[in-house]
């Protein structure tokens, strides 16, 4: 194989490789699409959702119970005492960058706080709020 053919093959392989990290805005767009035609993510709704006391769990009535009212601050799990890195992508660039982690934590936390899984609209609003500053 000639050097030229090898270089071309490497370029084709590199161009076909999937992106390893996503961005918070990618997740907002994904969840907004899943929410349905005409849905527009809202940081205001995300803020309300983040601070709302759902009353399902007396130990974890809201997201702010563990994450604090400021998404750029470090939180602490109210039961385990585990430190929780900031939710704000500005304070924690690794936040909302891999689908596996995003889905894992939404599923676990929504079930603990809401008693159900979050809707795509709630997820889009929540991440939009995190992107835009995240202070309840």
pTM of the model: 0.81
Please state the rounded mean pLDDT for residues 68-94.
94
Q: pLDDT band for 21, please (50, 70, 90 cuts).
A: low
Q: Residue 10 falls within a domain, yes or no? A: no
- Beta-carbon contacts of 63 under 8 Å, excluding residues fewer than 6 positions away, are 49, 50, 51, 109, 113
CATH number at residue 127: 1.10.760.10
Flag whether pLDDT at 102 surpasses 80: yes
**Overall number of domains in the chain:** 1
CA distance 84 to 123: 19
Q: Any alpha helices (H) in the chain, and if so which ranges?
A: 3-16, 24-35, 43-51, 64-67, 99-114, 120-131
Distances (CA, A) of 57 to 23, 47, 65, 78: 31, 20, 11, 12
């Amino acid at each position: 194989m000639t050097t030229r053919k090898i270089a071309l093959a490497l370029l084709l392989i590199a161009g076909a490789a999937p992106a390893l990290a996503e961005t918070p805005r990618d997740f907002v767009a994904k969840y907004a699409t899943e929410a349905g035609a005409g849905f527009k993510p809202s940081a205001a709704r995300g803020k309300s959702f983040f601070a709302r006391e759902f009353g399902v769990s007396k130990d974890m009535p809201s997201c702010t119970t563990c994450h604090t009212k400021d998404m750029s601050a470090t939180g602490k799990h109210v039961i385990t005492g585990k430190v929780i890195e900031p939710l704000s992508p500005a304070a924690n660039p690794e936040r909302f960058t891999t689908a596996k982690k995003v889905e894992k934590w939404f599923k676990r936390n929504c079930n603990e706080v809401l008693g159900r899984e979050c809707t795509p609209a709630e997820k889009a609003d929540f991440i939009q709020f995190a992107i835009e500053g995240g202070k309840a």
